[in-house]
Amino acid sequence: MRVRETPEAGTAATRQRPEISDEPLEKRMFIVETAATIWMVLLIAVAAATALFAVPRRPARPGALPPDPQAGERAVAAERAAELSRRRRAEWERAQERVDAAWAAFDAADRDARRVAAAAAFPVFKQRRTRTELADRERNLHRMATAACRQRELSIAQLNEVLAHRGSWNPRRHPVAQEAALRAAVREHRFAAYQAAAEQERLAWQKSERAAATLRSLRAEARPVRVPAGRDVHYEQQWTPARPAKARLAVR
């Protein structure tokens, strides 16, 4: 015998069925997200720590030096060395000017000697000369040599050679030949003056270089030295300008 189900009975059965909830799934998603966040934070922390230890550390900033008891002496010595260096430099520049002037004088004397030598290359007829003509030639030679010596074209030693008729100085020679010999002597004197000026310039340059080197050493020594913080600076024995310019700081 079948029992007919009424609408009320069906509705009651439907109400008695259990409902499915999404609460466990939400909890699992929350746990996964939390774990992922924690892992990300840990990875970032590890990466930051690795980068911090991998970057080289900068050295400590230099600290200030204690007062140097010889600083005043070093400054005075450096100032004196600077003044000496300026004087040596000026002397060297003047020596250079003298070298240039001596070379210009030698060049002019060389051109004159070549010109007169070319003119004296033409042959001269030989014939007997009177005593008056020979005396005139001798006076002409003495006059030209004396004038050249007064103009500093000949040295006193060369003038004595001419007046004493020593060596190749023959007063009987033709005036053109005498002038050619005189111009050659002037050229020789100018070249000797140039060599002397060049030697003086070389010595002046060496003195200037030594003075400049001393100045650089004193300035480097007088310049304050900066050392890393945490280190003590100890000065050595008493400094004197006569000692070689060396670094006299010991860092411990």
Assigned domain for 96 exists? yes
Q: Given a cut of 70, is residue 161 above it in pLDDT?
A: yes
Assigned domain for 23 exists? no
Assigned domain for 210 exists? yes
> What is the domain count for the chain?
1
Assigned domain for 240 exists? no
Angle between helices 131-150 and 175-222 (to 10 degrees): 10
Assigned domain for 29 exists? no
Domain that holds residue 111: 66-235
pLDDT range class, residue 172, cuts 50, 70, 90:
confident
* CA gap 46, 80 in Å, rounded: 62
Specify the higher pLDDT residue, 212 or 168: 212
| Most confidently modeled range among 10-24, 38-52, 85-99, 160-174 | 85-99
DSSP-H helix ranges across 120-174: 131-150, 156-163
Judge contact between 187 and 113, C-beta under 8 A.
Answer: yes
Q: Given a cut of 90, is residue 51 above it in pLDDT?
A: no
Q: Given a cut of 50, is residue 239 above it in pLDDT?
A: no
Assigned domain for 56 exists? no
Assigned domain for 20 exists? no
Q: Give residue 23's pLDDT.
A: 63
Q: State mean pLDDT over 236-242.
A: 40
pLDDT range class, residue 129, cuts 50, 70, 90:
confident
Assigned domain for 12 exists? no
Q: Given a cut of 90, is residue 220 above it in pLDDT?
A: no
Q: Measured between alpha carbons, how far is residue 202 from residues 67, 107, 169, 191 in Å?
A: 42, 21, 35, 17
